[in-house]
Amino acid sequence: MLDDHDRRILRQLQAEPTLKAAELAERVGLSAQQAWRRVERMEREGVIRGQEAMIDWEALGFAVRVSLRITLDKTLPRAFDEFLEAARAVREVTEIQTFLGRVDVRLEVIARDMGHWTGIYREKIMALPHIADIEALMHVSRIKVQEALPV
Amino acid sequence: MNLDELDWEILKALQADGRLSAGAVGRRLGLSQPAAWRRIRRLREAGAISGQRLRLDAEKLGFGVTVFLGVKLATKGQVSLEDFERAVSAIPEVQTVEHVLGLYDYRLRVTARDLADFERVLRRRIMALPGVGNVEANVLLTEERRPGPLGGPLG
């Protein structure tokens, strides 16, 4: 399992994934080789699964972001599968989550402007199968987007 | 900013694997290393790529539970939004805070070791924040990140 050195490495890499081995080692008080061996071990064990570039959709002209909270008609056995399959085909959907709770599924949808959003909502979202109820939350601003784990 | 087909392909490749070098990106798309490097630099400078994120396996690190919370502030006008935002952002288990319009005022993403740990965070930290009214919790079962408009042909 992970020890304090590993956790320190993860904290540094979460804050700055592109840190060079030498700099990382200095910050966690290890030699570069020791630090790198630990990073490689955590990659092998699947604790570190890689890196991704974060796309800023707003900078690309998608100014509207909406959370759709959806309740499905669960009297139909294949409601979830059929809904999810159809939702994956909507290009403006950037996230799909399923839940245990009052809400069954959340879709995050982006659009260029309100006109574009209205079109997506009427033509693509309302056409998704088995929706019993749907609520929209319009995103105003992002206060914290870290998604770091408090390791 | 104006993107051509190749820029979209670069974004798609880097979203899938943020560690690809400019040379590797170029080889995939038939660009020279310097040409790919220039395009990537331009995308970063324009803010299309806002940063780099480390992908961790939360479960392997002992964070077995993720909960999405909708939070309604109780006393509108009396509570400063800035105070609430500062206080809620300071909680380490709170991963994202978004100001929204609709049934709730904020949506939060919270990570915890298990449901008991989540209950501790909810009761001692979140419910104790200034101005918190109604809270709705939904426990995450599955999650998919989609490529969004990067996924298909340009429309």
In a domain, B29, yes or no: yes
pLDDT score, position A147: 79
User: For the domain A64-138, what is the CATH code?
Assistant: 3.30.70.920
Residues 45-104 of B with CB under 8 A from A: 46-58, 60-61, 63, 68, 70, 85, 88-89, 92-104
Indicate if B99 and B40 belong to the same structural domain: no
Q: Considering chain B, what percentage of its residues have pLDDT values greater than 90?
A: 83
Regarding whether B79 and B41 lie in a shared domain, the answer is no
What is the model's pLDDT at position B77? 63
All residues of chain A having their beta carbon less than 8 Å from the beta carbon of residue B144 are 88, 95-97
pLDDT tens readout for residues A22-80:
999 999 999 999 999 999 999 999 999 999 999 999 999 999 999 999 999 989 989 99
- Is B145 within a domain? no
| Rounded distance between C-alpha atoms, residue A23 and residue A29, angstroms | 10
Structure confidence at residue B74 (pLDDT) = 87
* Domain around B13: 5-45
Within 8 A of B53 by CB-CB distance, chain A residues are 17, 51-54, 147
Q: Which CATH architecture has domain A4-44?
A: Orthogonal Bundle (1.10)
pTM of the model: 0.90
pLDDT beyond 70 at B76? no
CATH of the domain at B123: 3.30.70.920
- Categorize the per-residue pLDDT at B155 as very low, low, confident or very high, splitting at 50, 70 and 90: very low
Q: Which residue of B has its CA nearest to A65?
A: B100
* Domain of residue B39, CATH code: 1.10.10.10
pLDDT at residue B130 tops 90? no
Domain assignments of chain A as residue spans, ordered by start: 4-44, 64-138
Instruction: Compute the distance between CA of residue A76 and CA of residue A1 in angstroms, rounded to an integer.
Output: 43
Of the partner residues A60, A110, A136, the one whose CB lies closest to the CB of residue B102:
A136
| Residue for token pair 């001692």 | B124
B81-100 average pLDDT score: 95
Percent of chain A scored above 90 by pLDDT? Answer: 90
Residue A126's closest CA among A79, A83, A65?
A83
Query: B138, A141: Cβ pair inside 8 Å?
Result: no
Q: Is residue B103 part of a domain?
A: yes
How many separate domains does chain B show? Answer: 2
C-alpha to C-alpha distance for B58 and A84, rounded to whole angstroms: 23
Which residue of B lies nearest to A7 if distances are taken between CA atoms? Answer: B61
B60 inside domain: no
Calpha distance A100→A34 (Å, rounded) = 42
